[in-house]
Structure 1
Amino acid sequence: MERPEGEAKARDPEDPASAVAGQWLREQTSRTSLSPKAQAVLDVLAAQPRMSTYGSTQQIANAAGVNGATVTRTAQALGFSGWPALQNELRARYLTSLSVPEITAEHHTRQDGVFADSLRRDLESVALTNRHLDAATAQQVVATIATSRRTLVSAEGSYAAIGLALTHNAALAGYPVELLGDHGRPDTLNTLADIGPQDTVIAISLWRLYENTVRTAQAARERGATVCAITDSATTTLARTAHHVLTVPAEGTAFFPSLTAALALAQALCAQLATHRPEYTTERLRRAEELWERFGILHVSRTPPH
């Protein structure tokens, strides 16, 4: 996507994205007393959401008539670690307000550059995750999985690919982690009804959240289970339901969200999980390998006859 150049236009009162950004910012500030300079920063964010989601600290400061430190302090006053964290949240809110056709139009990349731009965007998303992910929360999620009686993963649509990788590798490491099936099936709901305080539910949903994933997280919390969320916004209903929230960028370059950062996060969680009880995991891997060989699961390359 091309970055907006020059000074952004004033907010169009009919612009849905501006309305969504403004409403969200008002909700965040309703319980916080801000200085006039901080309020000037928020006014810029609400009036110019597209510019704000790409602008640097200094660009935001210039638009608000303040210095860069004020932008950082404003983000911290709202509960974020700094401007990058607030910017990522604002970006997620902005994208959520767009329909599929609108987000396609937003990503008006040249046709001959789509492939390279997609790879570049994913590389940037992983780099952002590496720099800004809360490592302490990630460790808590790993410890929760390792000590739970059972861990259920709720992920629908393309997000099921993330859930499948997470459950496959965690189970291979020796931990009882499984992917919930079709949320409309009675047996899936029966499984969910059986969880309690000794269990964990990991809810994975990005961009426009799946209703069933949110309901699963809410039902799990009501039953005393620990709820973890992998998502792209820290202030949605899903995030507020979860005990532990891991946020990753999810913007792609087409009509669908990118799964790359979330998948990288899932792989990192499993890698860390394998070190929790290394001897136990090593033994489980050995036993699994023996069964793979017995059942001929993996293709064995043989030299073709002459």
Structure 2
Amino acid sequence: MTSTSSEPDGFEAWLRGRVPERGLRSKGASVLEVLLTQPRRVSYSSAAETAELAGVNVATVSRTAQALGFSGWSDLQQELRARYLSSLSAPEVAAAQQTEGELGGASLRRDLDSLALLNRRFDEQLIRTIAEAIARARRVVIVANGSYYSVGSALGHNVQLAGYEATVVHDDAELANALSRTEPGDVLIAISFWRLYQSTVTAAEEAHARGARVFALTDAASPALTAASEEVVLIPAEGVAFFPSLAPGLAVAQAIAAQLSAVDPERTRRSIEAAETQWSRFRLLHRRPRLG
């Protein structure tokens, strides 16, 4: 590991912070030690391989994962890898993954695997909570930077189409101005993956301090982002080469928008009809529906 492992927001602090107060039994402690000392290796190992490294059986690895607050090894491994990769630079990430074969196909397969994991983890109630918060909000601010802006932009576009006001912010000056107007009754959705943008974390902290409801979409929330957020949606975001995957984040954005459309179907219907009228007026679409 890098030196970040000893910092409050580092890998080691995160993992040790999940150990229950009663501690772990000796065999569980052996598994924990392997996780702490060989994070790269176990991030890409099976439960059986991890068990061999720790000198225990596979059942002990599964029980240790559950003791640390995960449903099993696969869920622990996913977040373990996200935390490990977040400690690396872009060149180090590419070297750590060591993807074989054509990267285009590897990228597609990685996205399919991540979507399958997302589906297994999917929490309908959590998505409903976010959608209902958006519907009740006085004002919705969506914060996303870099390539993650695509996730925020898609979410903001569809929130507006569903009949609700939302602003997508990726400029730091604009973000500071938006936060200066934040108050109770507002909602802030913070979207950031991999090493996290500091401005996004700061926005979440400021919005929380001002009484707004904060929700985070991320692959591995920092303690600061977790503390500021009412709910955190953990989304697999590992890609290939230098690039985090955006497909699972976009899928969650679409899920939130779809659920939002069911909160007040009549409001959404009116909004979509009004938008359709303007699309026709401005002749935006190459193919237009027939009238009458």
TM-score (norm 1): 0.86
Instruction: Tell me the alpha carbon deviations over residues 181-234 of structure 1, each in whole angstroms, 9 at most, x when there is no partner.
Output: 41224xx42322222221100000000110110000000000010100000014
CA RMSD of aligned residues (A): 2.1
Structure 2 match to 1:113: 102
Structure 2 residue 92 is the aligned partner of structure 1 residue 102: yes
Q: 1:222 to 1:71 in 2, by over 3 A?
A: same
Structure 2 match to 1:7: none
Question: Where has structure 1 moved over 6 Å in runs of 4 or more?
Answer: none
- Percent of matched pairs sharing the same residue: 47
Structure 2 residue 161 is the aligned partner of structure 1 residue 172: yes
1:35-46 map, 5 Å: 35-46=25-36
Structure 2 residue 137 is the aligned partner of structure 1 residue 148: yes
Select 2:238's aligned residue among 251, 260, 264. Answer: 251
Structure 2 residue 171 is the aligned partner of structure 1 residue 182: yes
Structure 1 letter corresponding to 2:261:
A
Deviates more, 1:133-142 or 1:256-265: 133-142
Select 2:51's aligned residue among 61, 74, 83. Answer: 61
Alpha-carbon offset, residue 104 of structure 1: 2.0
Q: 1:134 to 1:235 in 2, by over 3 A?
A: farther
Structure 2 match to 1:206: 193
Q: 1:158 to 1:18 in 2, by over 3 A?
A: closer
Instruction: Tell me the alpha carbon deviations over residues 119-174 of structure 1, each in whole angstroms, 9 at most, x when there is no partner.
Output: 11111111111111333222211121121111110001111110000000111000
Asked whether the 8 Å contact 1:133–1:246 carries over to 2, the reply is: no
Instruction: Tell me the alpha carbon deviations over residues 261-303 of structure 1, each in whole angstroms, 9 at most, x when there is no partner.
Output: 11111011111111111122111111110111111122248xx
Structure 1 letter corresponding to 2:89:
S
1:279-298 map, 5 Å: 279-298=266-285
Instruction: Tell me the alpha carbon deviations over residues 33-90 of structure 1, each in whole angstroms, 9 at most, x when there is no partner.
Output: 2211211110111122122112233332333233333323322222223322221221
Structure 1 match to 2:72: 82
Structure 2 match to 1:126: 115
Aligned residues: 284
Structure 1 letter corresponding to 2:189:
I
Stretches of structure 2 that go unaligned for 5 or more consecutive residues are none
Structure 2 residue 262 is the aligned partner of structure 1 residue 275: yes
Structure 1 match to 2:179: 192
CA distance in 1, matches of 2:162, 2:124: 21
Structure 1 match to 2:151: 162
Q: 1:159 to 1:256 in 2, by over 3 A?
A: same
CA distance in 2, matches of 1:66, 1:57: 10
